[in-house]
Structure 1
Amino acid sequence: MNIVLCCAGGFSTTMMMEKIKDVIRASARLNIEDFTLKAISADMLQEETEPIDVVLIGPQIAHREEYIRGILEPRGAAYAIMDKETYGKMDGATALKMALIADRKAHMKGA
């Protein structure tokens, strides 16, 4: 699964990305090789050429949801906006759960 984390500059999402990787590595059911994670600024999303399954959006750029959705819908990629509490605590487990749920919902819609 290819997960892209977006924020204003890509810096705080880099920390969240590492927390998500820690959760995956500690899991008995998940395999880190099954995931590709990348942290970028929202302004770089349009130029992203790799396939994207899910974008996790930092709460500080939630106001850019329409812009981001416009980029992702043609690609068939799902997204979720991380809430302030999850983001503030750098809760990688909850963020990963949000990505997995968004991906599953997108597949259910397409089925």
Structure 2
Amino acid sequence: MKIVLACVAGLSTTMMMDSMKDVIKNSKKLDSDSFELMAIPVEQLQSEIEGTDVVLLGPQVSYKSEFVKSITEPLNIPFIVINKDVYGSMDGATVVKEALIAKRKQEMKSNS
């Protein structure tokens, strides 16, 4: 599962990405080999979107939601704006869970 985290310059999202990787690595249910996480500036999303399952948008760039939607929607890729409190606490577990739920919802929508 490819998850792309998009923000301004990729700095704080790299910290979130590391938190998410720790959660996945320490999980008894998730296989870290089946996850690919990438932190990028939101402007690079168009060039990195191929093969992406979920896009996570940092709260500091939530104003770019329409831009992200214009890229993800035609490809049926879900995107989530990470809650600012979850982001501020670097709660990787919650973000991983939200990404998995978004992917599952998109799969169910596509199958119906």
1: CA distance, partners of 2:10 / 2:105: 26
Q: Who is 1:101 aligned against?
A: 101
What amino acid is the match of 1:23? Answer: V
Aligned partner letter, 2:55: V
* Post-superposition offset of 1:49: 5.3
Structure 1 unmatched ranges of 5 or more: none
Where 1:87 maps in the other structure, the secondary structure is: helix
SS in 2 for 1:28: coil
Aligned residue pair count: 111
Quote the RMSD (CA, aligned, Å): 0.9
Q: Which residue of 2 aligns with 1:8?
A: 8
Secondary structure in structure 1 of the residue aligned to 2:40: strand
| CA shift digits 1:47-102 (9 cap, x unpaired) | 11531000111001111111001001122211111001100000000010110111
Calculate the TM-score normalised by the size of structure 2.
0.95
Residues 12-91 of structure 1: matches in 2 within 5 Å? 12-48=12-48, 50-91=50-91
Structure 1 Cα separation of the partners of residues 49 and 79 of structure 2: 17
| Structure 2: stretches of 5+ with no match in the other structure | none
Ranges of 4+ aligned residues in structure 1 off by more than 6 Å: none
* Shift in Å, 1:43: 0.3
Q: CA deviation at 1:7?
A: 0.6
Q: What is the DSSP-based 3-state SS (H/G/I as helix, E as strand, rest coil) of the residue aligned with 2:25?
A: helix
Distance in 1, Cα, partners of 2:76 & 2:49: 14
